[in-house]
Structure 1
Amino acid sequence: MPTLERSSKKLQVIHTAIELFNLYGFHNTGVDLIAKESKIPKATFYNYFHSKEQLVERCVSFQKSRLKEEVLAIIYSSRYRNSIAKLKEIIVLHVNFNSLYYLLLKAIFEIKQIYSQAYLMAVEYRKWLLRELFDLVFSLENSPLKPDANMVLNLMDGLMFQILSSNSLDKRDVVVERFFGEIK
């Protein structure tokens, strides 16, 4: 099989696995299901990844890289008027039904003991995000009420849990506007 075709198929398996992990969780998604949904033989799966652990690590790493790119694109974009607009956009990026962040958040709660390397990647992303949020918060111009970077991260997590429990984005924008309305 040519290298490009093999890489494309591996990427398709990663995308499929991410969807299944998001839907069923890391523990309830087995190699058999991933191979079946990816339309590859189980032997091919093991040829690509050698173990479920390696696949989980690749999936978390893939999501982490994509999310970092998106956050950095927001931070360095001139589309947003100020740091508050950038913070809002970063929150919206993370708090969404199809959020790239969902797999990383799920990893923090589900895989610490079993897939420790993937868990550490998810924790590493949160630490990186916290530093980026701190820099944005620090840059807020003459705001009497500056939020703490931890507060913004906790807001994102809380909103994500609310969305997951209610299957609704209705309150997300209201909460974000109210939160940042106090800061202006």
Structure 2
Amino acid sequence: MSNLEISSKKLQVIRTAIHLFTTHGFHTAGIDLIAKESKIPKGTLYNYFHSKERLIEMCIAFQKRLLKEEVLSIIYSNRYRTSNDKLKEIVRLHVCSNSLYHLLLKAIFEIKLVYSQGYRMAVEYRKWLLHEIFDLVFSLETSAIKPDANMVLNLIDGLMMQFLSSNSLEERDVMLEQFFKTNT
């Protein structure tokens, strides 16, 4: 089997594992289920990743990289007229029906004690995002009170929790508009 085929199969397993971890949780989605859903032998899965912990780390690293690329594309894009529009879009990116952030948020709540490296990777992303939000808030073209970067990150987390409990994107958009109307 060529390296390209192995890489393709590993990526398939990572995508399957992300879906299962997001849907069932890190503790419920075991190696047996991931191997079954990926349609590969359990031994092959261990050959690729060596442990469930390493697979979790790869899944979080994968999501983290995709999120960073998306956030940076928003920040450096000319599609959005203002920094405020960019902030709104970053919030929407994190709080949507197929959010890449869902896995990282789940990791923060579920794996701190058992899979500490994966937990640290999720926390590192939040620190990076907080820094990017701070820079955007600092650049807002307004004389009104600027929102605190921590407040925006807490807004993302709160909206994600609300979305997960109600699956309503309309509620997210209403709350988002109210937040930015009040704070800018």
Instruction: Please give the TM-score of this superposition, normalised by the length of structure 2.
Output: 0.98
Q: Name the CA distance, whole Å, in 1 between partners of 2:183 and 2:105.
A: 27
Residue by residue over 1:6-25, the C-alpha shift from the partner in whole angstroms, topping out at 9 and shown as x without a partner, is 00000000000000000000
What displacement does 1:182 show? Answer: 2.1
Q: Secondary structure at the match of 2:168?
A: coil
Deviation at 1:141, TM superposition (A): 1.2
Q: Secondary structure of the residue that 2:77 maps to in structure 1? A: coil
Amino acid at match of 1:81: R
Q: What residue ranges of structure 2 are gaps of 5+ in the alignment?
A: none
Which string of whole-angstrom CA distances, capped at 9 and with x for unpartnered residues, describes residues 122-150 of structure 1? 00000000000000000011331200000
What is the match of residue 132 of structure 1?
132
Q: How many residues align?
A: 184
Counterpart of 2:152 in structure 1: which amino acid?
A: V
- For residues 83 and 182 of structure 1, the distance between their equivalents in structure 2, rounded to whole angstroms, comes to 16
1:25-77 Cα shifts (integer Å, max 9, x gaps): 00000000000000001111011001100000000011000000000000000
Identity of aligned residues (%): 72
Q: Is the 8 A contact 1:143 1:183 kept in 2?
A: no
The 5-angstrom pairing of residues 35-50 of structure 1 reads: 35-50=35-50
Cα distance between partner residues in 2 of 1:166 and 1:95: 12
How far apart, in 2, do the equivalents of 1:97 and 1:111 lie? Answer: 23
- The Cα shift of 1:170 comes to 2.1
Structure 1 stretches (4+) deviating beyond 4 angstroms? Answer: none
1:80-105: CA deviation from partner (whole Å, max 9, x where unpaired): 00100000000000001210000000
Gapped runs of 5+ residues in structure 1? none
Aligned AA for 2:34? I
Secondary structure of the 1:81 match is coil
Q: 2:11 aligns to what? A: 11
Q: Shift in Å at residue 162 of structure 1? A: 0.4
Q: What amino acid is aligned across from residue 147 of structure 2 in structure 1? A: P
Matched, 1:113 2:113: yes
- Structure 1 residue 183, shift from structure 2 partner: 3.2
1:167 to partner: Cα distance: 2.0
- 1:145 paired with 2:149, answer no
Equivalent position of 2:80 in the other structure: 80
Does residue 157 of structure 2 align to residue 179 of structure 1? no
